[in-house]
Structure 1
């Protein structure tokens, strides 16, 4: 038997067997927990990687090894570990399933910097990666390993994007990519071309902080087969919910009149279910118990799976930090506010054409108290927005020129409560009684119950549904049947919500002395004002042309009262308010006055007459 010079046969055999041994069956998060080390130069918490520190990354990383998933879209803020998530996937590929990989950054200088300061140190710190790395045959933008290479490219370099095939494609901060790579096409399209050689087992990961709604990552998110959000349980009631910065239920609460440092230390999160206070100390346990779900409750992964997070989930961000950043950005101006929307909320900034402001709503306060019908009112209309566990409503008084006043709004939980609100009388200052003439009820959420309610109260209630596409007219009447419930010929109005939002925005912009204004009662609450102004009109490119559409200012902003006001405006228009004129009530006839009787003596009684 030949003898291996300078080596022990037993050691050589063990080494050979290690090479032939199949890799461990690990997910990406399991691999990272076992083999990934963090560098002290680039990490605030150097040492062994622990997914428990950022539990929300587990679902994203482990989707990489899910055979159902071909593409992962991670819509993220800063400070949640998104780049490290991508690095862990690359490390897993090198150690567990070596195949050609392409990693794309916005520009080639950033690709060079990242390779030198993040990727190569990551490889050197991990024995599992270092043992497979061929440093002598590698360059900064092309790393060589056992059985694979990893090309590190800039999106502005067409040569690096189109040079070699890749089974794995990682694209970081895609919203910062140039629109074209030199004279070539979209750099993302060029990079995707490299994966065509692997039609059945390729993996694509793209991640970015969003910029605008037409940006690559937001369009990718909207095109995902399933959109997942991270639901966490309330430490008090146990109900699962997503963390939102603003909203009428479930949001960060703080007193904006306090100084910033006090706000930073006192802000808290309010549970959307039990309304209890959730503090920063509760967050670690909530994150560990969290689950990735779609809004409809489904959790299964699909070919294109999207993940969305905001900075409230970050273990390094306090609720007070988000509140202070928002107030500071809002006071500083649009550019700073854009950074907060993008980098903290992971939402797109809008190219705003029409924007309503809650302060302007509150400035439209009239001299009338809640529930009091203004002078010269012609009729009342109402709108109801139906949600899962509650119903929002508004009641609006209309006068000449479509001048209108909100006289009441609120939230109820049952249909009988809506009946009570709509059937009581509302009085003007002189005691004149008014009743709601027409109430428009949204049928988008719970259609059957809405149809039943409107059929039962047909004299004053109609069902409506917002149209997703522009209508040739402001609204269109249709008839529907519900045979299984014995309902036939139900009136359903399809309503062009954009038209009536334009109407509200235009009326809100009128000066107080102009006719046709849009007003609220004295002492109107700020929540109502925020919801009425939760949307703005923006320009978007659709089918090759620019169009103007109404979109929420933030992804999770509540707009229920805006919808209610849209429905109330439709109801007034449907009744023909624009053609009506106020008629002064006729005064009741005055009783005839008694004429005084002259005390004259007749000739028969004598006197001064000729007789």
Structure 2
């Protein structure tokens, strides 16, 4: 196995760094599928805790079955593939099972699921909630998963940390909503509600033509919207700078990501990359990444899935596939049509 690096996912370095800063009690990351968030933020953070900062840690998966699967397929494979992690494991057989691992310094890793038994009583210095918008909004009638998880870290005060990561999953509550501040998320439940409580960071690229900074978004992709066939419509996809209109090819994406910058609400960058403005300050470091920047999915795939979902909606009236691709591929919340007779263009 090769040492793990962030070379392919430079946009996650700042998120990882915030997990080691006492200025923040929680780190919230909203992002699309295939951006590397689970591998970096859950397994990468876990590896750091085990080897550098040993402490009790809880990772919460969707269900008992998913927790078991995640433990076997991801956690244990990660540990056994790394000599540094493997050397930290207790040699006593009874110290380890599918959901619980004890390490030589005595620190404890639990891979659990959202029940009140898991999210109460025990204290953990670190808690990670993965795929947050697919967790129950109310755990056993005791409260939302984040509030329950945060209480598990309170004993450790500023040394405790709660991580929440997910693609959006809840619908926009007000279809007519307009933002009152930059970087604000539409009104919705789940992880974007937590994001709004934080300092609201968005990822920016710098146009190589006009040198202005902008946030890459699906709406900036240029493709043949009049072509009815999803395969043909997605053959050629570029991304237009919203300032000068120059269209960039996807082969530039790795370099754009490498030089990309996270900006908190209230901040902006000049053409020389100098940061200005008054950033929003809270105890939450919150990040929202959109689909076009994701390393492990292409712009052609983004457009193909969106166009195919539009075709399905026009044929059947079902917008489930449209909701799925907007949530998981584009990394955005879905606004349901106000009437079932609206056209695809209105979506």
Partner of residue 70, structure 1: 25
Q: Does 1:122 align with 2:81?
A: no
CA distance in 2, matches of 1:348, 1:80: 17
CA distance in 2, matches of 1:227, 1:264: 31
Partner of residue 284, structure 1: 254
CA distance in 1, matches of 2:151, 2:21: 22
3-state SS of paired residue (2:194): helix
Partner of residue 211, structure 1: 169
What whole-Å deviation, never above 9, does each CA across 1:113-165 have from its counterpart, x for those lacking one?
Answer: 1111101111111122111112521111111112310111111x322222421
3-state SS of paired residue (1:52): coil
Deviation at 1:189, TM superposition (A): 2.9
3-state SS of paired residue (2:23): coil
- CA gap of 1:295–1:263, structure 2 versus 1, over 3 A, is farther
212, 221, 233: which one aligns with 1:263: 233
The aligned runs of 1:63-462 (5 Å cut-off) are: 63-85=18-40, 86-134=42-90, 136=93, 137-145=95-103, 146-155=105-114, 157-182=115-140, 184-212=142-170, 213=172, 214-224=188-198, 226-246=199-219, 251-258=220-227, 259-297=229-267, 302-333=282-313, 334-353=319-338
TM-score (norm 1): 0.48
Q: Is the 8 A contact 2:137 2:190 kept in 1?
A: no
Partner of residue 401, structure 1: none
Q: Is the 8 A contact 1:235 1:282 kept in 2?
A: no
Deviation at 1:188, TM superposition (A): 3.2
CA distance in 2, matches of 1:273, 1:183: 48
Q: Is the 8 A contact 1:158 1:187 kept in 2?
A: no
CA distance in 2, matches of 1:273, 1:52: 29
Deviation at 1:356, TM superposition (A): 9.5
Deviation at 1:316, TM superposition (A): 2.5
Q: Is the 8 A contact 1:174 1:207 kept in 2?
A: yes
TM-score (norm 2): 0.83
Query: Using CA pairs below 8 Å that are at least 6 residues apart, which structure has the higher relative contact order?
Result: 2
Deviation at 1:244, TM superposition (A): 1.3
The aligned runs of 1:511-550 (5 Å cut-off) are: none
Q: Is the 8 A contact 1:270 1:276 kept in 2?
A: yes
3-state SS of paired residue (2:59): strand
- CA gap of 1:265–1:50, structure 2 versus 1, over 3 A, is farther
Q: Is the 8 A contact 2:31 2:288 kept in 1?
A: yes
CA distance in 1, matches of 2:161, 2:232: 47
CA distance in 2, matches of 1:257, 1:216: 35
CA RMSD after TM alignment: 2.2
Which is richer in strand? Answer: 1
- CA gap of 1:211–1:313, structure 2 versus 1, over 3 A, is same
3-state SS of paired residue (1:328): helix
Q: Is the 8 A contact 1:268 1:320 kept in 2?
A: no
- CA gap of 1:52–1:165, structure 2 versus 1, over 3 A, is same
3-state SS of paired residue (1:196): helix
What whole-Å deviation, never above 9, does each CA across 1:240-286 have from its counterpart, x for those lacking one?
Answer: 1110111xxxx101112344334333111111122112001111111
Deviation at 1:48, TM superposition (A): 3.1
CA distance in 1, matches of 2:243, 2:148: 47
- CA gap of 1:128–1:271, structure 2 versus 1, over 3 A, is same
Q: Is the 8 A contact 2:55 2:125 kept in 1?
A: yes
Q: Is the 8 A contact 2:327 2:333 kept in 1?
A: yes
CA distance in 1, matches of 2:238, 2:309: 19
CA distance in 1, matches of 2:300, 2:143: 44
3-state SS of paired residue (1:327): helix
Deviation at 1:324, TM superposition (A): 1.5
Q: Is the 8 A contact 1:104 1:111 kept in 2?
A: yes
CA distance in 2, matches of 1:288, 1:200: 31
CA distance in 1, matches of 2:150, 2:125: 10
